[in-house]
């Protein structure tokens, strides 16, 4: 069910198997395991322990992680993009009339994101939402609001490692079932950004499309070759 990349257990099955597996937990933290986030996990002891926690599941979100699994001879079945998993969770929440909480992005983005989610998934409940501009070390009011609203799932879009640090902070303070850091997903739901054409996604070129739309992402691509070199260095002979 897992492939071991740099001592991180990466879920290796397909989306349906992942949803089934997530449902076996009372409480689960889903980590979007792209090279950048996994690097953060290697460098930060708190994140390392959190990613390896029994209630954490790391998904292969990124072509770099998919390639790494092939390099070690234990390939994942498919890339599982964070936004695709978010949609699966929303579909389930809508079908079962469950509640979600959204945290992150700019005020206008989160407002539009909530509006569009309500239109597409009218039977789920928005337990609450808040922008991502606050002091993460002084946010007891937000943690208390989330705890009191008791959402079934919470999506945190504040970039890594900030979103993971917040999830670690709030996870033991609420009975929420699914916790997930989602990076720039709210921008897509808000219509601020578009996903790559399907053919680019199929060919594993979504990263190229995103760089073309957001040139600032070029700096982040450096993590991919560094990550792959580290995988090659540590793979078993």
Whole-structure pTM value: 0.92
CB 39 within 8 A of CB 226: yes
For residues 129-150, average pLDDT: 95
* Per-residue pLDDT, 203: 67
* Per-residue pLDDT, 72: 94
Residue for token digits 């390896």?
Answer: 52
Which pLDDT band holds residue 225 (cuts at 50, 70, 90)?
A: confident
Percent of the chain with pLDDT over 70: 92
CB 157 within 8 A of CB 132: yes
* Per-residue pLDDT, 74: 96
Q: What is the pLDDT of residues 24-43, one digit of tens each?
A: 999 999 999 999 899 888 88
Tokens of 21: 């597996």
Is residue 237 pLDDT above 60, yes or no? no
Is residue 236 pLDDT above 90, yes or no? no
Cα angle, residue 119 at apex, residues 124 and 197 outer, rounded to 5°: 110
Q: What is the pLDDT of residues 49-74, one digit of tens each?
A: 999 999 999 999 988 999 999 999 99
Decide yes or no: CATH 3.40.50.10700 for domain 2-234.
yes
Omega before 161 cis (within 30°)?
A: yes
Closest alpha carbon to 146 in 125, 174, 117, 109: 174
* Per-residue pLDDT, 103: 98
**Domain spans of the chain, in order of start:** 2-234
- Element housing 71 (H / E): helix 63-71
CB 123 within 8 A of CB 94: yes
Is residue 179 pLDDT above 90, yes or no? yes
Is residue 187 pLDDT above 90, yes or no? yes
Average pLDDT, the chain: 91
* Per-residue pLDDT, 234: 83
For residues 161-182, average pLDDT: 93
């Amino acid at each position: 069910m897992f492939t071991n990349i740099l001592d991180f257990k990466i879920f290796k099955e397909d989306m349906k198997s992942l949803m089934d597996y997530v449902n076996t937990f009372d409480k689960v933290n889903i980590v979007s395991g792209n090279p950048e986030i996994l690097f953060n996990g290697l460098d930060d002891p708190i994140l390392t322990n959190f990613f390896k926690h029994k209630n954490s599941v790391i998904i292969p979100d990124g072509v770099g992680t998919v390639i790494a699994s092939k390099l070690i001879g234990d390939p994942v079945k498919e890339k599982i993009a964070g936004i695709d998993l978010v949609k699966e969770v929303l579909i389930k929440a809508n079908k079962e009339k469950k509640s979600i909480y959204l945290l992150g992005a700019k005020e206008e983005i989160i407002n539009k994101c909530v509006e569009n989610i309500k239109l597409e998934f009218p039977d789920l409940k928005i337990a609450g939402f808040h922008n991502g501009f606050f002091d993460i070390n002084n946010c007891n009011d937000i943690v208390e609001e989330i705890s009191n609203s008791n959402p079934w799932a919470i999506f945190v879009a504040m970039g890594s490692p900030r979103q993971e640090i917040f999830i670690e902070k709030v996870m033991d303070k609420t009975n929420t079932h699914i916790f997930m850091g989602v990076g720039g997903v709210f921008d897509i739901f808000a219509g601020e950004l578009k996903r790559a054409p399907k053919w680019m996604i199929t060919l594993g070129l979504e990263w190229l499309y995103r760089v073309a739309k957001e040139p600032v992402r070029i700096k982040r691509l450096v993590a991919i070759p560094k990550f792959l070199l580290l995988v090659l260095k540590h793979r078993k002979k």
